[in-house]
Structure 1
Amino acid sequence: MSQPKGTGNFKFKAEVNQLLNILVHSLYSNREIFLRELVANASDALDKLRFQQLQGAEVEDLPLQIDITCDPGNKTLTVADSGVGMTREEMVQNLGTIAHSGTAEFVKNLSESTSAEQTRDIIGQFGVGFYSVFMVADEVAVTSKSVNDDEPAYTWKSNGQGSFSVSPVEGEVGRGTTIRISLKEDATEFAQPDRVKSTIRRHSGFVSFPVMVDGEKVNTVAALWREPKFQITREQYDEFYQALTYDTEAPLDVIHLSADAPIQFNSLFFVPKTSHDLLMGGYQGQHGVDLYVRRILIQHQNKDVLPEYLGFLRGVVDSEDLPLNISRETLQENLLLQKISRQVTKQVLSHLQKLATNNSETYEEIWNQHGKIFKLGYTDFVNKDAFAELLRFNSSHFDDDKGLTSLDDYISRMKEEQDEIYFLAGQSRQAVISSPHLEMLRRKGVEVLYLFEPIDEFVMDAVGTHKEYKLVSAEHADPAKLDKLPDTEEAEAAEQLSDEQHATFEGLLSRMKDILGARVTEVRESKRLKDSPIVLVSPDGSMTSSMQKIMRVMSHDESTPPRVMEVNPDNELVRNLLRMYEKDKQDPFVTLATEQLFESAMLLDGYLEDPHGLVNRVRQTLTEATKGKAE
């Protein structure tokens, strides 16, 4: 049944009353959102008119734009558009009821909030639509003339207290809708042009229609993500990036993506030249991209579109498929957004793979700046292969710590009979190179990846294998397997121990185990050492020493993990100890030397907590060594 054509007074529907009551009596940290909602509604009205024009409809030739007028003296703000407008019936229906599916339940949840703070968290940013205007308005008057009806224009008026009136407007009124807002005393800032302009730029800066504030166009930067890539210059990308991020430097790379199926979206990402706000392996409060719906910003720094390990990217994602007034909670659970996230992540990784292949210098610069964040992707098992291909490491292939290699490049340099990828962790390149664990690998000419960050071993463990090659720590390298490879370094072979000497050596190993006691699980002959006298290794199948240190820190465990001490029978120092032991199985110098060797190895591995004993033994050893010289 149509409404009568005269003036009428109406009551809001119950859900609207509840919503308005919450809006009026709750505190809000972001009241400016009302302007975003009004501009979005105006943009929709203009879109509908343009669609009718494309369908051949004859309409009055008026500029398709949004005009905002500020009047500080009268404390009013006016938002006008030349869109399709509304009939009287449409005004009663659209401005007096909530037709959006599920909104009644949404309002019910709001009314059950236990505090103003919880209420603010729920509706301070999303889902309140036109009614958000009552956060700042004492009274709202909406005058509208429909493009599809010859009846006069009507004015809808309400103070948000439970009712509204609709009355005809005398005289000529142009097509479209004008919203006049009489501002509350504590909201008069929204009658100031500068305040309104900054709000428009922040939330509605990329609306496709001109937004004029007191005659000045505010949305001057084009929404490049909606433009064809071949029409955009690098200078335009750089200008957009600097307007978006306020970064004074041009980005290292631009990633412009779009998709129509199965989910429609457009996105534009930038790789900053410098890593900002890096703290404890993550971006503190800076991770996220701006999420738009039809060029309207609905969330700044959305953290659901891109995974954390791609959080170094800055940019925007825009989708026609997401509802404009989606609530924060619904946004987090929205299946469409999850599908967009999966597709965007896949396309970003694909772009970086192509960049790494075609422009390795730029990719290595990106890695040097943002690699620490990217390594967090070791938990993304869905994109495990793409993630692994993008990893970069320093290695023994290079002369310094500046060189970087991929796993694929490592594989291309592998020995013919090599079937494992080897790595070793340490605090620096020098620390890694000095490790006894590298001796056999170095002798065989096998390349070793150097890991300098605590997260690196988690990465290696998660990747596990790459192109069917297992990733193995040098600490766990199988000497028997490596022994099959030919030596590439010439080294003077030590004289082999006789059977009698070997039996004595076994006794020396037993003596060392007695000296060290429970500090080691075993003392055994080393098959991997060529130069160093001893090396400490983890028991077979356990974690590497560097991983153990990380886990101890995480669990606040101050105990020393069990170690196996391997002794090199070809080392000159060990041969000297062997001769001493052969003459006197209780020689005190054997005890001194064993303690010293063990604690020196513990020091190198980062487990020696009290160096005093080691220092005293160094002095004692020097005293013994200089005694013979002096005599």
Structure 2
Amino acid sequence: MTSQVYEFQAQARQLLDLMVHSIYSNKDSFLRELISNASDAVDKLRLEGLRDKDLDVDISDLHIRLTPDASARTLTVSDNGIGMSREEVVDLIGTVAKSGTDELRRKLAETDAKDAGELIGQFGIGFYSVFMVADRVELVTRKAGETVGTRWESTGDGTYTLDEAPDAPQGTSITLTLKAVDEENAVHDYADQNVLRALVKKYSDFISWPIRMRVTKQVPAAEEGGEPTTEEVDETLNSQKALWAKSPGEVSEEEYAEFYRHISHAWDEPLETISLHAEGTFEYQALLFIPSQAPFDLFMRERTSGIHLYVKRVFIMDDAAELMPEYLRFVQGVVDAADLSLNVSREILQQDRQIRAIRRRLVKKVISSVQELQDRRPEDYQTFWSNFGRVFKEGLINDHDNAKAILKASVFGSTHSETEPTTLVDYLSRCKPDQDVIYYMTGESRTQIERSPHLEAFRAKGIEVLLLSDPVDEVWVSSGLDFEGKQLVSVAKGVVDLDDADADADGEEKSKRDEEFAPLLSWLAETLADDVSEARLSSRLTESAACLVGDTFSMTPQLEKLYRASGQPVPKSKRILELNPDNALVTALRSKFDADGDDHTALEPTAKLLYATAVLAEGGDLDDPAEVARLLADTLTRDLG
């Protein structure tokens, strides 16, 4: 087959442009990425060789090799791993498997040049990083079990060339024609053996396969007085330590950090490192990390799990979602099980009793680690919560067994402080002695909730209310969860009785007021029957004229909106209109109503505007804004004479 020239897909061209033209503070990342990819390829070949006895491959000496050539200004990174077919080369190299390039470009435009490297690292650039240091790249690969290989070449100009490579060895070899050394910007000479040795030690020492480089060593003379000689030998550059098999005291923080970056393909520091060694009925080792930065695809449906599964140090899969629930999808790490079969499949994982037991232990350990962050390192916990709090709270819906622990490890906005969120333990410590529930209100933003009339009486009486503004809050608060025996109660639902203990003496006055307002309330309920189920006097309002209240078990308007946005039809629910009997507008409306006799037609626009103000006060959407605008204009015109 003759060589053919192809264009990169649009996103790949954008990434190439970023690699070539963006200022990148750490160009060393390309070597880490190539070695990590090579390690993955060797892992996959070893697994296939063990699974498929008919696969004609030699897995006795799997390794990665670096071959620098200082005179030719080239560096070759090769492996004898699984290799790629021609179709896989086009798919994996000519396109971008992950979405998010547009988001990356937007963030780069908002970021200082010195921080560009950290941003690019977050977006999983992988193979494309080679164009930071190379003017030309040649990739030669042959997939295990195939007889003909593929050669891929590009100068990073938006096109690449493909042709057959009949003599290609099994595995993948990537040769970089290196750019000139930029001493001013402290760029390393990547054709220098000492530089490569140091970079492998720093970034890839823990890779479980030998990383070799051919070096020249001096051999002492065989006889005294003779001339020493030199010979070419293979030098293994890495220690090949399986960090998860070591106790925490044997591993440095930097070693943990580099291993985290290796498995996550990220460049941030891990916020927390979690090491587990379980013995007994089910033996396994685990090394987990909580990142310090949220990946760009945290809320994308196609995101894969960050848990790598090994069996007796043999790589099985790099997205073992069965070991970690969806709400902990930000966790990265390795689990090495002792008793699973090497032929374990995803279907077997879903049914395996040992996997379920390991998952339960891992989940409890991660949640307890979050709790420890909250108690011991508040600043790190704040970083965790700002990045992953919304995801973590999904467990309040999906993980009934651990919901109480998740609730305890979570924090929430509160009327107690404008800046500091609160734990539920701290909330309860500030409660009034006779308060037997936890009050909350949901909404689209803290600002919207704080302006809601529903909070007026609570604020006046100094009763703390949780302010819940994440979309997930709308769902979990209605699941019936309690905390330390106290139910969570919405201030925007049901009947709220905040009267003081000595208020019983005012009962007669309250009954009289209810009787006086009864005709107006009945008329309002009838006039607004399309929108409200009832009209009644309120004990939660101190300033506003009116508010809308749901039944105890009804959906909030925000939850209805979420369901509709997800394509689920939800019938509109009617809510209760509550009036503040001490508000000047309400008392004037009652006086006018009583004076009109039996004909209240002239007050219907006022009733509709009163309802509209209640909707707007809670940040809701009017069904017919134009009609409300017309009614308001007519009323203002009439009042102005």
Same fold (TM > 0.5): yes
Deviations 1:55-107 (A, max 9, x none): xxxxxxxxx98678999xxxxx998xxxxxxxxxxxxxxxxxxxxxxxxxxxx
Structure 1 match to 2:499? 483
2:268 partner SS: coil
Q: Does 1:414 align with 2:431?
A: yes
2:278 counterpart of 1:259:
yes
Counterpart AA for 2:358? I
Q: Structure 1 residues 343 and 252 mapped into 2: Cα distance closer, same or farther (>3 Å)?
A: same
Partner of 1:117: none
Partner of 1:548: 560
Q: 1:518 to 1:39 in 2, by over 3 A?
A: closer
User: Residue in 2 aligned with 1:35?
Assistant: 45
What do the CA deviations read for 1:139-176 (whole angstroms, capped 9, x no partner)? xxxxxxxxxxxxxxxxxxxxxxxxxxxxxxxxxxxxxx
CA distance in 1, matches of 2:480, 2:252: 38
**2:623 matched residue in structure 1:** 609
Q: In the TM superposition, what is the alpha-carbon distance from 1:621 to its structure 2 partner?
A: 2.3
Separation in structure 2 between the aligned mates of residue 606 and residue 570 of structure 1, nearest angstrom: 24
Where in structure 1 are there 5+ consecutive unaligned residues? 1-29, 42-63, 72-76, 80-131, 139-183, 196-200, 488-492
Quote the offset at 1:32 in angstroms.
Answer: 6.7
* SS at 2:422 equivalent: coil
Correspondent of 2:548 among 532, 536, 539: 536
Counterpart of 1:617 in structure 2: which amino acid? Answer: L
1:591 aligns with one of 604, 608, 611:
604
SS at match of 1:188: coil
Deviates more, 1:313-322 or 1:298-307: 313-322
1:375 and 1:249 map into 2 onto residues whose CA distance is: 23
1:27 aligns with: none
Distance 1:255 1:283 in 2: 26
Call closer, same or farther: CA 1:261–1:357 in 2, change over 3 Å.
farther
Tell me the alpha carbon deviations over residues 277-318 of structure 1, each in whole angstroms, 9 at most, x when there is no partner: 346x45632333111223332101211111111111111111
Amino acid at match of 1:250: E
Give the deviation of 1:367 after TM superposition: 0.9
Give the letter aligned to residue 352 of structure 1: V
**Counterpart of 2:366 in structure 1: which amino acid?**
V
Q: Which residue of 2 aligns with 1:232?
A: 251
Q: Contact between 2:494 and 2:551, CA under 8 Å: does it hold in 1?
A: no
Aligned pair 1:190/2:170, yes or no?
A: yes
2:269 corresponds to 1:250: yes
Q: Do 1:294 and 1:320's aligned partners in 2 also have CA atoms closer than 8 Å?
A: yes
Judging changes above 3 Å, is the alpha-carbon distance between structure 1 residues 68 and 213 closer, same or farther for their aligned structure 2 residues? farther
- Structure 1 match to 2:155: none
Q: Within 2, Cα distance between the matches of 1:65 and 1:383?
A: 45
Q: Is residue 2:401 matched to residue 1:389?
A: no
The answer to whether structure 1 residue 576 and structure 2 residue 593 are counterparts is no
Equivalent position of 2:459 in the other structure: 442
Asked if residue 360 in structure 1 is aligned to residue 372 in structure 2, the reply is no
| Other-structure match for 1:155 | none
* 2:530 partner SS: helix
Aligned equivalents of 1:547, 1:191: Cα separation in 2: 53
Name the counterpart of 2:472.
455
Choose the corresponding residue for 2:445, options 409, 420, 428.
428
Q: Percent identity?
A: 32
Report how far residue 479 of structure 1 moved. Answer: 2.7
2: CA distance between counterparts of 1:486 and 1:210? 80
8 A Cα contact 2:274 2:288, kept in partner: yes
RMSD (Å) for aligned C-alpha atoms: 3.9
> Of residues 360, 364, 369 in structure 2, which corresponds to 1:351?
369
CA separation in 2, counterparts of 1:406 and 1:446?
16
Task: Tell me if the contact between 1:473 and 1:544 (Cα under 8 Å) persists in the aligned partners.
Answer: no
Q: Which has the larger radius of gyration?
A: 1
- Residues 70 and 504 (structure 1), Cα distance of their counterparts in 2 relative to 1, 3 Å cut: closer
Structure-2 residue corresponding to 1:623:
637
Residues 483 and 209 from structure 1, CA distance in 2 versus in 1: closer, same or farther, beyond 3 angstroms?
same
Alignment partner of 1:565 is 2:577: yes
Q: Which runs of 5 or more structure 2 residues have no equivalent in the other structure?
A: 1-39, 52-59, 68-77, 81-141, 149-163, 176-200, 215-233
Aligned equivalent of 1:467: 484
Q: Contact (CA 8 Å) 1:40, 1:296: kept in 2 or not?
A: no
SS at match of 1:518: coil
Distance in structure 2 (CA, Å) of the matches to 1:424 and 1:534: 17
Question: 1:40–1:187: structure 2 CA closer, same or farther, 3 Å change rule?
Answer: farther
Contact 1:70 1:193 in 2 (8 A): no
Aligned twin of 2:303: 285
Q: Is 2:287 the counterpart of 1:268?
A: yes
SS of structure 1 residue aligned to 2:638: helix
Q: What is the CA-CA distance between 1:187 and the residue it aligns to? A: 8.1
8 Å Cα contact 1:394/1:449 also seen in 2 = yes
CA distance 1:596–1:68, shift in 2 (3 Å): closer
Q: Count residues with an aligned counterpart.
A: 461
Partners of 1:515 and 1:591 within 8 A in 2? yes
Would you say the 8 A contact 2:493–2:551 is kept in 1?
A: no
**Which residue of 513, 517, 531 maps to 1:519?**
531
SS of 2:275's equivalent in the other structure is strand
User: Structure 1 pair 583/359, CA: closer, same or farther in 2 (3 Å)?
Assistant: same
SS in 2 for 1:506: helix
- Relative to structure 1, the CA distance from residue 186 to residue 602 in structure 2 (aligned partners, 3 Å threshold; closer, same or farther) is farther
Does the aligned pair in 2 maintain the 1:290–1:300 contact within 8 Å?
Answer: yes
In structure 2, C-alpha distance between the alignment counterparts of 1:67 and 1:514, rounded to whole Å: 81
Shift of the alpha carbon at 1:617?
Answer: 1.7
- The offset of 1:463, in angstroms, is 5.7
Q: How has the CA–CA distance of structure 1 residues 136 and 424 changed in structure 2, closer, same or farther, with 3 Å as cutoff?
A: same
Paired position in structure 2 for 1:322: 340
TM-score normalised according to structure 2 size: 0.64
Equivalent residues of 1:444, 1:486 under 8 A apart = no
Q: 2:447 and 2:171 mapped to 1: Cα distance?
A: 64
Task: Give the Cα separation in 2 of the matches to 1:38 and 1:427.
Answer: 50
Query: Tell me, what secondary structure is at the counterpart of 1:460?
Result: helix
Counterpart Cα distance in 2 of 1:268 and 1:532: 55
Distance change >3 Å, CA 186–CA 66, structure 1 → 2: closer
How far apart are residue 415 of structure 1 and its match?
Answer: 1.0
Deviation at 1:218, TM superposition (A): 6.6
CA distance in 2 between counterparts of 1:34 and 1:249 reads 26
Task: State the shift of 1:602 in Å.
Answer: 2.6
User: Given that residues 267 and 318 in structure 1 are in contact (C-alpha distance below 8 angstroms), is that contact kept between their aligned partners in structure 2?
Assistant: yes
Give the letter for the 2:610 counterpart. Answer: L
CA distance in 2, matches of 1:315, 1:268: 5
Shift of 1:447: 0.8
Q: Is the 8 A contact 2:480 2:487 kept in 1?
A: no
Report the 3-state secondary structure (helix = DSSP H, G, I; strand = E; otherwise coil) of the residue aligned with 2:374.
helix
Structure 1 residues 303 and 352: CA distance shift in structure 2, 3 A: same
Deviation at 1:456, TM superposition (A): 0.5
